[in-house]
A and B are shown apart, each in its own frame.
Chain A
């Protein structure tokens, strides 16, 4: 003999068919619209970033010399004119000081 444990309740939340469709539609829209918008916007800008980044790394890979201290023209600059890094001419021409702009300047 089977015991009847199942009890059927007709529409426990009192939602009509139209209301159910409306609520479902709204939930989907709330989830989907920002997701699509955000992925489109972020992926488009990061695609550009990745393409440009790759371009510069390519320039590095194909370069004959890949370290600054082996740049012959830089060495020539220091020999003919600049002296040494952090030397007197370098301090005068290639270094600077910064300004505290939290004080009123003008």
Chain B
């Protein structure tokens, strides 16, 4: 594919027209290769915002101001016409070869159950150990994103408890800060965050202020991580390894240089040149390409442990990749904090599964106020089909829920726009192949 020319043309075009991007952001991670597109309209069904324009039978284009960079069109196109405008595989390989750098790979939960497919393993194989082994062989240090998923739960869960106690019991904030309204929306999914920012800015106060696990990981790597790996913050190069194309856009947001500001303020920095929290992002597909370029066969690698405390994670962190996972993890912790005892059983079934919209309620006793409360939660995925009613309810102020998880992609991050493509398009063989994926 002659991708490069299109990228340049696209960029030039976008400098003139794009209105919804800050300076420094990647103006749209997804573009359509006009020479490949057949105009079959298959992608339009998967686009959450109707950003794909062009009549049936003519070459389609993406309106970058509407586009969330979620990549659903890319993984669902029968012809492989959409492509990513940002490809940093070679840049990362160069950094890995340069021994002055500590290259930190931030591995998202959904990567470990999908990357095996690119190396001939059955769909859904859990390959955490082999993935660590391959990453170490390539020269990465490992910061498991599941560690920061646990951190996200601590922050976002505490935030939810604060908001709930404020709304229900009128509790004031400890630091005198403002407390956001209910329902609280999760903020892990960058496509969902961009959807709110570009379409419904009045909902911004409902979004949890907690950063996504990827951005937390970048910040932790360049602040606390300097103690763990005994390196200077400038020499740490953070690479998000994500099932997601929108994470590339998220990492390029200019406000995400909290580690630089913190280090400078506390005299830990050596340079005055600002560095981003997450230097670059590779998708699952990008990482397989990197391994193949370095002649690493993941399927044959040894199983290795993470190597530092930043790779320790819990079961609650790892289910972030499934739809309902963030909610389940948050409920496990919120329940324990509010009641003082653990949720039993830990599996919270009502938020699992592939139904478009899931809701549940938990009645528990808040130990601090000694009162019964019923927490109502909802889980939304596949935004293209399911988001509008939920948003309308919240806008109208009659949403019955307290906490709502939203993930853009159907099924959650495991089916993200950066995952290996299971071509469900025109090829009959690949449409049938997954039937034999169980063993």
Q: Which A residues contact B (CB, under 8 angstroms)?
A: 40-41, 43-61, 63, 65-74, 76-78, 80-82, 85-86, 88, 90-102, 104-106
Contact = CB atoms under 8 A, between A and B. Distances in A.
Contacts of B317: 68, 71
A49 B215 CA distance: 26
Interface stretch (B105-113, B295-303, B358-366): B105-113
Contacts of B339: none
A81 B338 CA distance: 25
A48 B124 CA distance: 7
B220 interface: yes
Contacts of A60: 315-316, 318-319
Interface residues of B, number: 94
In order of increasing CB-CB distance, the 7 nearest A-B pairs are A51-B124, A55-B113, A60-B315, A66-B315, A63-B315, A68-B153, A73-B312
Contact of B434 (A48, A65, A69): A48
Nearest to A104: B19
B325 interface: yes
B210 interface: yes
Given A40-B432, A52-B415, A74 B154 contact: yes
Report whether over half of chain A's contact residues are helix, strand or loop; otherwise say mixed.
Answer: helix
A58 B109 CA distance: 12
Contact of B422 (A48, A78, A82): A48
B114 interface: yes
Interface stretch (B5-13, B164-172, B193-201): B193-201
Interface of B: 18-23, 76, 109-110, 112-114, 122-126, 128, 147, 149-151, 153-155, 157-159, 162, 174-175, 177, 193-194, 196-199, 201, 204, 207, 209-211, 215-216, 219-220, 223-224, 227, 255-256, 258-259, 262, 309-310, 312-319, 321-322, 325, 329, 332-333, 336-337, 342, 346, 352, 354, 410-412, 414-415, 422, 424, 428, 430-435, 437-438
Contact of A51 (B123, B255, B428): B123
B205 to A, nearest CB: 9
B102 to A, nearest CB: 18
Given A68-B157, A69-B337, A106-B22, A52 B123 contact: yes
A13 to B, nearest CB: 36
6 contacts: A41-B424, A47-B434, A52-B414, A66-B314, A66-B346, A93-B258
B271 to A, nearest CB: 19
Nearest to A59: B318
B411 A53 contact: yes
Q: Which of B153, B227, B342, B434 has the most CB of A within 10 A?
A: B434
A98 B193 contact: yes
B438 A51 contact: yes
B150 A52 contact: no
Nearest to B256: A96
Given A65-B315, A71-B317, A77-B224, 17 more contacts: A47-B123, A47-B435, A47-B437, A48-B415, A49-B414, A52-B114, A55-B414, A56-B319, A59-B109, A59-B113, A59-B319, A68-B332, A85-B155, A86-B162, A94-B211, A96-B211, A101-B201
Contacts of A43: 434-435
Given A55-B125, A81-B224, A86-B155, A94 B314 contact: no
B197 A100 contact: yes
A80 B224 contact: yes
A96 B219 CA distance: 12
B262 A55 contact: no
Contacts of B319: 56-57, 59-60
Nearest to A86: B158
Given A71-B314, A101-B194, A49 B411 contact: yes
Nearest to A62: B315
B68 to A, nearest CB: 11
A90 to B, nearest CB: 6
Contact of A105 (B22, B125, B199, B435): B22
A92 B386 CA distance: 34
A106 B194 CA distance: 16
Contacts of B437: 47-48, 51
A105 B309 CA distance: 40
Contacts of B219: 93-94
B258 A59 contact: no
Contact of B314 (A41, A67, A93): A67
A55 B413 CA distance: 13
A102 B198 contact: yes
